[in-house]
Structure 1
Amino acid sequence: MVTLQTFFPVAEDHHKVFGQISVPTRLLLGPGPSNAHPDVLKALALPPVGHLDPFYVDLMSEVQELLRYAWQTDNRLTLPMSGTGSSAMEATIANTVEPGDKVLIANNGYFGSRLIDIAERYRADVVTIEKPWGEAFSLGEIEEAILLHKPTVLGIVHAETSTGVCQPMEGIGGLCKKHDCLLLLDTVTSLGGVPLFIDKWGVDLAYSCSQKGLSCPPGLGPFTISSRAEEKLNSRVGKVPNWYLDVSLLNKYWGSDRVYHHTAPVNMNFAMREALRLLSEEGLENSWTRHRTNAERLWDGLQSLGLELHVQKELRLPTLTTVRIPDGINGKAFTLHLLNNFGIEIGGGLGALAGKVWRIGLMGYNSTSENVDKLLNLFDTELSSF
């Protein structure tokens, strides 16, 4: 018998016995996450392998190629960051912004504000252009700001999750290239569900997440960087100030060398590979059409019930709809009612729209006509009691 020598008696204050986990069934129709596809959950539950196992190394290449298709890019450095979408968001700034660099943020929502916060933490000289929450920027407004401020990087949100606005992108990349400015794009709520053309739009840096249009659990942050932005990274005076997100180091792991950098979340990448495979199997155009068709079904149904949508139709996101809470309605109480009594989650507003809107997500696996009809029926039968 082995006797374990200890220096102190084991404290029992926090020694508690819990039962096996049991998760309630939810239909996630909020701003994210969305429900994961059953095949994605099966992939997540597969036995793990080593993060340098030849099988996993091959799978890494498959994930990268599938991401290139989803983003419509040829970028060599396209990979999922080992972290949620916010890690990929920070990586775009950390790798290309040096202290004193002029960074222009087009801010029209909560996540534009987050880009400002991150850029300031990396000691950029941050300037902004602002629009009300629910509006988009015109090409003329962006050009005027670029000419005035002469930024190194322009950051803009393609799909603003806080407002439901889809920013028109035509011409912005050309302006940035003309004025020697990198274009950084937030595609967190657009990847997989909204037309997205990284190369044709001239986007230099983009990030997304795993849990929205891809219908994979949260935990990975897709990231891509153009050769033009790589040049900026390679010409830095000092090291990237975030070791974990340093793409020059991650390149050695995700590139041909496969040199160890960190213990990768292998099962999350199993799930990501399956989610991207399903998107590829459906086809991007089919997925985009499905999201748009179901969004319009939702929009028409909400308006037929007398509800007002926050964003004008030509700027609405098919993946995320903002609905104005009618006067006299307790918006938070209604969302809790749907969750507690019907197992359906919708979101409330953030920032300037807190208490003013509901946010309804139709993303990836959840974008179906059946889900639209189920939610519309509940708005019709339950809202009047609030």
Structure 2
Amino acid sequence: MMNRVSGGSWNEFVPISRIIMTPGPVEADPRVLRAMSYPILGQFDPAFTELMNETMGMLRELFRTDNRWAYPVDGTSRSGIEAVMASLIEPGDKVLVPIFGRFGHLLHEIAERCGGRVITLEKPWGTVFDPAELIEAIGREQPDVVAMVHGETSTGRMQPLAGIGEACRRHGALLIIDAVATIGGTPVDTDAWQLDAVIGGTQKCLSVPSGMAPITYNDRAERKIVARKRIERGLRSNTASLPLQEAPPGPSPIQSNYLDLAQLQDYWSPKRLNHHTEMTSMLYALHEGLRLVLAEGLEARFKRHRMHESALMAGLTSMGLSMYGDPLSKLPMVTCVQIPECVDGEMVRSMLLHQFGIEIASSFGPLAGRIWRIGTMGYSCRQTNILHLLGSLEAVLLRAGVKLPAGEAVQAALDAYEEARVG
């Protein structure tokens, strides 16, 4: 139910306040929401283009890169994924996609839509790849592109990336990484890990509303983008007077206009070549979100996410609940909890939402009805939320007939906080 305030023939929409502890979206930082209320500037106003430049500089710090190109694609995280993949995968390219959850399958689908010849490797959900397996596969398959997920929110796992970028360089492949769930919450070392293109998201650890996809890519990736741009121009000039069937064979240009990185980088360059009307208020939000992340400090922010994860897990474990998946590859910002037998998982979620104002996530695919997914990301990742969730979940489970040690979950979390602060 939503609160509605009467006004004219329609009612004003006023959303109910929630504590959002899902793997995304999460609660937006109030300072980000305030930034979104600022007056609109024209997209070529010098004050606005300076904001664009500052945003690019902060994104380089966030991605830990010296790349020339670091800017947001206007659209949800998937727009960034599609822009990068559509710009870097040519029809006929061999694309290796390691899959260990739902979003690996998404990369597979997009690569096929780009015309790639896709080869997949799969791991059971709840596990990840040993980097040595991937390095061996890259040498064996000799792909043009490798596309993989860093943090898989569907399973709560994080893929180690050590050595994979180096292997891609050795065999001439470009490495695309989906870091939507991890950017701003755990290290994403673009340059040190030799990642050619990385896609982030705003609605998770950055605590900015969904609507922009920060990306970065290096000179290796740019060379392919620019080469495809030249092909596009050549096709336009050479075939203008020819029937379509007489167009000369050759590599295809980038198929999308809106998601064409060749055009987007011209827009974000000092040339400011008009491509689209920039999402003014969303750029205000991203700029403020990045400022807050960097003001906190990346290492301090990573440590904060780990601290709250530890307190949450201490409370859940003391409640007698079991965690899902390989603990060695756990994603720090997503905790997957096995739903106890004889408990209606959706009833628990519904009661948490409607009685306590807390939203947690279910899952899908082979994990549908088997686990809850609890997110501790960005602004949602704070002690009051952790303690409120643990106390509320305990109350709901007791009401559902689960026998558990009442009161111990919050105490265990408080002990974990004390230990973290003393340490």
TM-score range relative to shorter protein: over 0.9
Matched, 1:351 2:365: yes
Match of 1:197 among 189, 193, 214: 189
Question: What residue number does 1:107 align with?
Answer: 99
Question: What residue number does 1:56 align with?
Answer: 48
4+ runs of 1 displaced by more than 3 Å?
A: none
Partners of 2:389 and 2:163 in 1: how far apart? 37
Note the aligned Cα RMSD (angstroms): 1.1
Matched, 1:313 2:313: no
Q: Deviations over 1:108-131 (max 9, x none)?
A: 001000000111111100010000
Question: What residue number does 1:367 align with?
Answer: 381
Match of 1:214 among 202, 206, 214: 206
Query: Matches of residues 125-274 of structure 1 in structure 2 within 5 Å?
Result: 125-236=117-228, 237-274=251-288
Partners of 1:358 and 1:325 in 2: how far apart? 7
Partners of 1:49 and 1:351 in 2: how far apart? 44
Q: CA deviation at 1:77?
A: 1.3
Please identify, of 69-78 and 233-242, the stretch whose mean Cα deviation from structure 2 is larger: 233-242
Q: How many residues align?
A: 371
Q: Deviations over 1:320-359 (max 9, x none)?
A: 1111111111111111111111111100012221111111
Matched, 1:289 2:303: yes
8 Å contact kept, 2:345–2:372:
yes
Q: Deviations over 1:224-257 (max 9, x none)?
A: 1111111122233332111101111111110111
SS in 1 for 2:13: coil
Q: Deviations over 1:22-70 (max 9, x none)?
A: 1100111011111011110000111111111111100001111111111
Partners of 1:310 and 1:89 in 2: how far apart? 28
Partners of 1:109 and 1:297 in 2: how far apart? 26
Q: CA deviation at 1:85?
A: 0.2
Q: Deviations over 1:164-195 (max 9, x none)?
A: 10111111111111111111111111010011
Q: Deviations over 1:178-231 (max 9, x none)?
A: 111111111111010011101100000111111110000110011111111111
Q: CA deviation at 1:298?
A: 0.7
Partners of 1:327 and 1:144 in 2: how far apart? 40
Matched, 1:279 2:293: yes
Partners of 1:359 and 1:274 in 2: how far apart? 28
SS in 1 for 2:96: strand
Q: CA deviation at 1:384?
A: 2.6
Query: Matches of residues 39-78 of structure 1 in structure 2 within 5 Å?
Result: 39-78=31-70
Question: What residue number does 1:3 align with?
Answer: none
Partners of 1:34 and 1:221 in 2: how far apart? 15
Partners of 1:208 and 1:111 in 2: how far apart? 14
8 Å contact kept, 1:52–1:260:
no
TM-score, with structure 2 as normaliser: 0.86
Q: CA deviation at 1:147?
A: 2.2
Partners of 1:46 and 1:97 in 2: how far apart? 39
8 Å contact kept, 2:321–2:340:
yes
8 Å contact kept, 1:187–1:208:
yes
Partners of 1:117 and 1:385 in 2: how far apart? 43
SS in 1 for 2:65: coil
TM-score, with structure 1 as normaliser: 0.94
Question: What residue number does 2:9 align with?
Answer: 17
Partners of 1:235 and 1:46 in 2: how far apart? 40
8 Å contact kept, 2:91–2:252:
no
Partners of 2:310 and 2:102 in 1: how far apart? 25
The one-letter amino acid paired with 1:86 is R
Question: What residue number does 1:7 align with?
Answer: none
Unpaired runs of at least 5, structure 1: 1-15
Q: CA deviation at 1:76?
A: 1.0
8 Å contact kept, 1:87–1:221:
yes
Partners of 1:73 and 1:223 in 2: how far apart? 11
Partners of 2:227 and 2:45 in 1: how far apart? 33
Partners of 1:294 and 1:74 in 2: how far apart? 31
SS in 1 for 2:22: coil
The one-letter amino acid paired with 2:74 is S
Partners of 1:187 and 1:143 in 2: how far apart? 20
